[in-house]
Amino acid sequence: MTEEIVVIPGDGIGQEVVPAAVDVLQATGVDFEFVEAAAGDHVAEEGGEPLPDETRDLAANADATLFGAAGESAADVILPLRDAVDSFVNVRPARTYPGVDALKPGMDVVFLRENTEGVYAGHEARLTDDVSTLTRVVSQSASERLAEYACEFAPEGFTVAHKANVMRETDGLFRDTVQRVAEEHGVETDAALMDALAMHLCLRPEEYDVVVCPNLAGDVLSDLSAGLVGGLGLLPSANIGEERGLFEPVHGTAPDIAGQGVANPCATVLSAAMLLEYLEYDDEAEDIRDAVESVLAHGPRTPDLGGDAATTDVTNAIVERL
């Protein structure tokens, strides 16, 4: 069966790392049909919308989508794309790799981030020249949906991040709902204030395995963890919906190195592995992870990891190991 994959490089280094991930996907031997689509700042600069309707429709109907990064238009691109695939959870693994200089060797944490609401729901207003407001949205239904996924993903148990001591109604609802659903499934949980959790991740990350987070907390805590494992060039992510998935590196456009050919493709390649897993090509996904781990351990490596290799060098090395 041919799998249709929409490919959206976006802006900056997305133009370099997404083609690298496509090369790796092609090397697996899976029957893919790649359909390239445009989105991002460069589309808006050419006189269009940063996310054309055609691109959104392609993502909404494809088997899966591989996305790079968007610049200033990020909120106008990635949020509607996640909505197009009905993504309710953003899965962000953060782990260390042999051969990579990491602040916390042995760290291996997965963040399950609520993906539809919170402060990213888009309800902002400028009331006066002096005052602007942001409405934070937390619903029981979205929290239940995330909790159901978390129970299936981590039946051995997980940590619930929250700030219910201050945001009593919103984070209180999130925490209580997730823990209630987990209890109904017989899944053990513990809860942690998200600011204290940030400190504990820096000091004792080995105490955590899976962390279930509200939207903004998941964004911040996973980026913090990237700094502990060796950088954003190593963190993939999966936006999971009931019937569609959108896969993207956690990093942004990296304008300081865009166009130089030295961007680390590993986060995007690992996102492609998550895409394969989502489509139930588990063996091929594991092959990619093994190949990436081998390259990270033995080289070549891009400058962000202390090497001097180009993006193409790392990509070719991964393909060769496949």
Nearest by Cα to 276 from 266, 285, 267, 268: 285
Choosing from 23, 76, 83, 223, the catalytic residue is 223
Cβ(296)–Cβ(98) under 8 Å?
yes
DSSP-assigned beta bridge partners for residue 211: 111, 159
| End-to-end Cα spacing for the chain | 21
Asked if 208 is an active-site residue, the reply is: no
* Residue partners of 157: CB distance under 8 A and separation at least 6: 187, 188, 189, 190, 209, 210
Q: How many CB atoms lie within 10 A of CB 222?
A: 25
Asked if 129 is an active-site residue, the reply is: no
Asked if 104 is an active-site residue, the reply is: no
Choosing from 195, 282, 283, 308, the catalytic residue is 195
Choosing from 41, 63, 120, 304, the catalytic residue is 120
Choosing from 41, 219, 287, 313, the catalytic residue is 219
Asked if 171 is an active-site residue, the reply is: no
Cross-sheet strand order for the sheet of 236-240: 32-36, 3-10, 64-69, 245-249, 236-240, 89-95, 108-114, 210-213, 158-162, 189-193
Asked if 120 is an active-site residue, the reply is: yes
Choosing from 104, 163, 208, 287, the catalytic residue is 163
* Residue partners of 292: CB distance under 8 A and separation at least 6: 97, 266, 269, 270, 273, 318
Q: Which residues are catalytic?
A: 120, 163, 195, 219, 223
